[in-house]
Amino acid sequence: MASDVRLKEQLPRLTDRIVASYTPDDGINHLGHCPLPSYEAIVEILLDIKDVLYPGYRRKIGLHAGNIVYHVGSIIDSLHDKLTTQIARALRHEDRVRNNHNDCESETDYEAKGQAMAIELLERIPDLRMTLATDVQAAYDGDPACQTTDEVVFCYPGIEAITVYRIAHELVRLSVPFIPRMMTEWAHKQTGIDIHPGATIGKYFFIDHGTGVVIGETCEIGAHVKLYQGVTLGALSFKTDDDGSLIRGQKRHPTIEDNVVVYANATILGGKTVIGRDSVIGSSVWVTKSVSPRTTVLLEKPELKVRGAAGEPPQVEAGSYQI
Amino acid sequence: MASDVRLKEQLPRLTDRIVASYTPDDGINHLGHCPLPSYEAIVEILLDIKDVLYPGYRRKIGLHAGNIVYHVGSIIDSLHDKLTTQIARALRHEDRVRNNHNDCESETDYEAKGQAMAIELLERIPDLRMTLATDVQAAYDGDPACQTTDEVVFCYPGIEAITVYRIAHELVRLSVPFIPRMMTEWAHKQTGIDIHPGATIGKYFFIDHGTGVVIGETCEIGAHVKLYQGVTLGALSFKTDDDGSLIRGQKRHPTIEDNVVVYANATILGGKTVIGRDSVIGSSVWVTKSVSPRTTVLLEKPELKVRGAAGEPPQVEAGSYQI
Amino acid sequence: MASDVRLKEQLPRLTDRIVASYTPDDGINHLGHCPLPSYEAIVEILLDIKDVLYPGYRRKIGLHAGNIVYHVGSIIDSLHDKLTTQIARALRHEDRVRNNHNDCESETDYEAKGQAMAIELLERIPDLRMTLATDVQAAYDGDPACQTTDEVVFCYPGIEAITVYRIAHELVRLSVPFIPRMMTEWAHKQTGIDIHPGATIGKYFFIDHGTGVVIGETCEIGAHVKLYQGVTLGALSFKTDDDGSLIRGQKRHPTIEDNVVVYANATILGGKTVIGRDSVIGSSVWVTKSVSPRTTVLLEKPELKVRGAAGEPPQVEAGSYQI
């Protein structure tokens, strides 16, 4: 029992059929173009940066005052080269798309531009560390199941997602195209938390559990904000007078002021929606209007249909149904 | 301070205890049976097929008209062999389960059957590309944060999940057992999007963000349908006259007609539920009855309990609470 | 076009700036400390244990009665060494945190303690197999789309999450610190299912689809319980007389008695909330009070706003809107 050689002889013809389907306007091939940024290289860059942000946790053990300069120096040198190459590719790709040409040649020295942006990103690492230290502290302060800040750095998916977001957001601020989304989509894959790199988020930010969280591109989030799993900060994409056409580039996502807590699976929608400072949005609440400061919004006693076995007494605990 | 050798001498006895727990009817060992399909091989097959579907994006850079035939021909040759082996394993496993025997020998030449199915799948790649190009276009058209179709192919989790689903669904149509579920569960792990390979889904399908989406086995989805994160298209598993027994193999999941949009965290349940064409199902809506065409279903002003700080005025923005 | 050498000459100064930000109290470095458990080693340990729990499914094919002792004996030997090392690291780290010192030396022989705990965990593998066999059976019994128990072991994310949880929970019972959370967070990353290793869960437990499920640290779950995707068994973290301070270490999460089913995206909150045996909690229900045994709790006819195209008749299917 073996495979049929005659069938296998179809493969060259089949290959030709497949290659014939690669047409310039099929929209899903990238043949004959300048290379896009490499996915693998971007992941390596993120792992390298994380190693510098949080030294001694994961990749390399036994780091101490006597050897840390060599370790960091070596990573920074390598990061400089990788970032320069990948940012140059992203810039050249954007040039091609914007100017609708297929040529890898250009008047612009994208390697030089990429290098300047790479170094600028690296220069921001000490500030990034200060901000991320506030996020780690917020996680420790906000989760009664947490024992040490080491645990937060080591295995909290919220910190993983926020770390990658903060790196990617710096690249957005430096006007690096394409790569920020690659970074946050990698974090989304790792954590189930989808933060658009264009969002702005203050210090002491904590996301607990996190699976299913979506934070849209034009969100503005203050300091000391805490979100739980399944929270959507999204767009009101349809309106009463909706004509079906997409509006790009305006504020479509909500503003969350300082010290707000949003519990699991709550949904807050709309670019004009502002959740005022010190407010609490309860679990599963759905909000599309602004809420003033120091307000608690909860689900009212839900309308439930409760049905017991035949002949049995009422079933839900006595007392008002509220949290 | 070292480990205790005497304790380590327990290990052979412990090994014997563990091995003694491997009984033919424990239900969780696969000893002495023909090999199942290899998880690693199935993942390699998916990566190979994706490389042929979307050439030049990820694995290999510098592809162009002059070298693409060699690149594709080499992948197709290798795919032929891997698919033949894995499909033969899946068919032999199904034979064993259906006929309740433990023998790897069989009258049937499963390699020959596997090869025919492998080649049939590969023959469908050009058609798959045409369908997937519509999905990529739908993502670009449907997301205001999206800059280029390259971005969609490169890093949209929805496209990742739909691509794997469409490959797996072709295998379902070819009656290949076991492997389709392995494929879509791998995509589920990558993206948080769980599409059963038995569902049928039309062209121009887009899932944005996607974490938590579940699409059941007997769903029928038309063309130009858009789903957001957390949408469940599921079964009504319990009824008023529920007797607790499972019903297998009948339509348990809803039908979604053309041009329907379902917003985040909406839940649509039941095999008789039909969402008519051009309808919109709002965020967090829960639907278990059919909806006629061109209908918008939204949450009514939610019953919320709003509580301000002592002595402060009412808190939610004036005006009707609606989207 | 090349990168600018003068710019690159900034890198040593930049390295010094980054290293200067690594201060003893920045909270996010682990320099000069005893090594933490290795993330990679913990993942290897999980894969090894899974190979022993479910022999013949994934890593090694062709296992049978004649060679299985050698295969298992070799894995157990290696597991003994890896577990001893990693548990010793976790114990030493806990000592350092609890006693607030930075010294890797200690009076305690953590290797010996780690070895004893490692062997105790391995001794529990036969019992773990018996429990996991009930979980696999529950998945097969509970999912009409499932064909064989092999499919469950091979590709059900619920089984992946429950397996890792049950391993981690044994380590919690052995008072091993740090490592249980590392394990369940790895499973969370793989499956989107976040089970705290401190929860207690009975036999025949099944989670279908699973993305977004959160099970809190102090949950108590009986036997024959079934959960669907997006279910939160969480804490009521805010109360009317909330003073903002966290309460650690008391029961904050619900109790779910035997034979309960909780459908997709339902939320059950609070340490005093008990869902009585044989009850059903419907999809998207939000419960913060106890429910007596044999009770079904469903969403009442939802308040929906339904809007048709101009001049068209009413749109939602006639008949009462209920499941």
Closest-CA distance, A161 to chain B, in angstroms, reads 14
Residue B126: the pLDDT is 96
pLDDT one-digit tens code per residue, B184-195: 999 999 999 999
pLDDT one-digit tens code per residue, A97-123: 888 776 677 788 999 999 999 999 999
> Which chain B residues touch A164 with a CB distance below 8 Å?
none
B32-C187-C143 Cα angle (round to 5): 65
Q: Would the CB atoms of A305 and C298 count as touching at under 8 Å?
A: yes
Residue A323: the pLDDT is 30
Give the end of a domain, one of C167, C192, C217.
Answer: C192
pLDDT for C240 beyond 80: no
- C269 in the same domain as C247: yes
Is the residue at C21 inside a domain?
no
Which of C79, C224, C306, C312 to mutate: most B Cβ within 10 Å?
A: C306
Give the other-Cβ count within 10 Å of C126's Cβ: 16
pLDDT band at A314 (very low <50, low <70, confident <90, very high): very low
Task: Please check whether residue A279 is in contact with residue A255, taking contact to mean a CB–CB distance below 8 angstroms.
Answer: no
> Which chain C residues touch B210 with a CB distance below 8 Å?
none
Closest-CA distance, C55 to chain B, in angstroms, reads 5
Q: Would the CB atoms of C196 and A61 count as touching at under 8 Å?
A: no
- B232 in the same domain as B169: no
DSSP string of A136-201?
Answer: HHHHHHH-TT---HHHHHHH-HHHHHHHHHHHHHHHHHTT--SHHHHHHHHHHHHHS-EE-TT-EE
Predicted complex ipTM: 0.90
Provide mean pLDDT across the span B12-23: 94
Is the residue at B307 inside a domain?
no
Q: Does C204 touch chain B (CB under 8 A)?
A: no
Selecting from C3, C194, C302 the residue whose C-beta is nearest the C-beta of A112 gives C3
Higher pLDDT, C61 or B136: B136
Is the residue at C309 inside a domain?
no
Higher pLDDT, C290 or A298: C290
Alpha helix positions (H), chain A: 5-8, 11-20, 39-53, 68-99, 110-123, 125-142, 149-155, 157-173, 179-191
Is the residue at C237 inside a domain?
yes
Selecting from B149, B156, B211 the residue whose C-beta is nearest the C-beta of A211 gives B211
pLDDT one-digit tens code per residue, A139-148: 999 887 787 8
Chain B: partners with 3+ C-beta pairs within 8 Å: A, C
pLDDT one-digit tens code per residue, C267-323: 999 999 999 999 999 888 889 999 999 999 988 766 666 776 655 554 555 333 333
Interface of A with C in 126-185 (CB under 8 A): 126, 129-130, 132-133, 136-137, 141-142, 144-145, 147-151, 153-157
Q: Which domain holds residue B46?
A: 31-192
Give the end of a domain, one of B192, B212, B232.
Answer: B192
Selecting from A55, A157, A307 the residue whose C-beta is nearest the C-beta of C185 gives A157
Give the other-Cβ count within 10 Å of A98's Cβ: 11
Share above pLDDT 70 across residues of chain A, in percent, rounded to a whole number: 88
Of residues A89, A81, A112, A82, the one with CA closest to residue C2: A112
- A210 in the same domain as A103: no
pLDDT for B320 beyond 60: no
Q: How many CB pairs under 8 A join A and C?
A: 241
Provide mean pLDDT across the span A141-163: 89
Hey, what amino acid is at B68? I
Q: Which residue matches tokens 């480990």? A: B3
pLDDT for B217 beyond 80: yes
pLDDT one-digit tens code per residue, C218-236: 999 999 999 999 999 999 8
User: What does the alpha-carbon distance between residue C87 and residue A287 come to, in Å, rounded to a whole number?
Assistant: 46
pLDDT for B151 beyond 60: yes
3-state secondary structure of A244: coil
Provide mean pLDDT across the span B206-223: 97
pLDDT one-digit tens code per residue, B129-148: 999 999 999 999 988 778 78
- A215 in the same domain as A154: no
Mention every residue, 6+ apart, whose C-beta is less than 8 A from residue A10: B119
Is the residue at A316 inside a domain?
no
Is the residue at B255 inside a domain?
yes
User: Is the four-CA dihedral B244, C297, C137, C213 of positive or negative sign?
Assistant: positive
Residue C35: the pLDDT is 87
- B135 in the same domain as B47: yes
pLDDT one-digit tens code per residue, A43-76: 999 999 999 999 988 777 788 888 899 999 999 9
Residue B295: the pLDDT is 92
Provide mean pLDDT across the span C42-67: 89
- A185 in the same domain as A218: no
pLDDT for A302 beyond 70: no
pLDDT band at C92 (very low <50, low <70, confident <90, very high): very high
- B274's enclosing H/E stretch is strand B274-275
- C235 in the same domain as C174: no
CATH number for A139: 1.10.3130.10
Is the residue at A8 inside a domain?
no
pLDDT for A245 beyond 70: no
pLDDT band at A240 (very low <50, low <70, confident <90, very high): very low
Per the structure, the count of domains in chain B is 2
Residue A149: the pLDDT is 87
DSSP string of A273-286?
Answer: -EE-TT-EE-TT-E
Task: Give the C-alpha distances (Å, rounded to integers) separating A77 from A60, A96, C26.
Answer: 17, 29, 24
Q: Which of C57-61, C69-73, C106-110 has the lowest mean pLDDT?
A: C57-61
Q: Does A317 touch chain C (CB under 8 A)?
A: yes
**What is the Cβ-side half-sphere exposure of residue A37, based on CA atoms within 13 angstroms?**
28
- C278 in the same domain as C227: yes
Q: Does A3 touch chain B (CB under 8 A)?
A: yes
Task: Please check whether residue A305 is in contact with residue C297, taking contact to mean a CB–CB distance below 8 angstroms.
Answer: yes
User: Is the four-CA dihedral C72, C76, C78, C83 of positive or negative sign?
Assistant: positive
pLDDT for B318 beyond 50: no
pLDDT band at C65 (very low <50, low <70, confident <90, very high): confident
Paired with C226 in beta bridges are: C206, C261
Residue A60: the pLDDT is 75
Of residues B54, B139, B164, the one with CA closest to residue A181: B139
Residue C242: the pLDDT is 47
Interface of C with A in 257-276 (CB under 8 A): 265, 267, 269-270, 276
- C269 in the same domain as C249: yes
pLDDT for C16 beyond 60: yes
CATH number for A237: 2.160.10.10
pLDDT for B178 beyond 80: yes
- A144 in the same domain as A64: yes
Is the residue at C8 inside a domain?
no
pLDDT for C165 beyond 90: yes
- Mean pLDDT, rounded, of chain C: 88
User: What does the alpha-carbon distance between residue B57 and residue A30 come to, in Å, rounded to a whole number?
Assistant: 6
pLDDT for A321 beyond 50: no
- B101 in the same domain as B67: yes
User: What does the alpha-carbon distance between residue A181 and residue A210 come to, in Å, rounded to a whole number?
Assistant: 19
> Which chain C residues touch A186 with a CB distance below 8 Å?
none
Q: Would the CB atoms of B321 and A288 count as touching at under 8 Å?
A: yes
- A164 in the same domain as A213: no
* A116 φ/ψ sector (left φ>0, alpha ψ -120 to 50, else beta): alpha
Of residues A270, A164, A144, the one with CA closest to residue A208: A144
Provide mean pLDDT across the span A237-255: 66
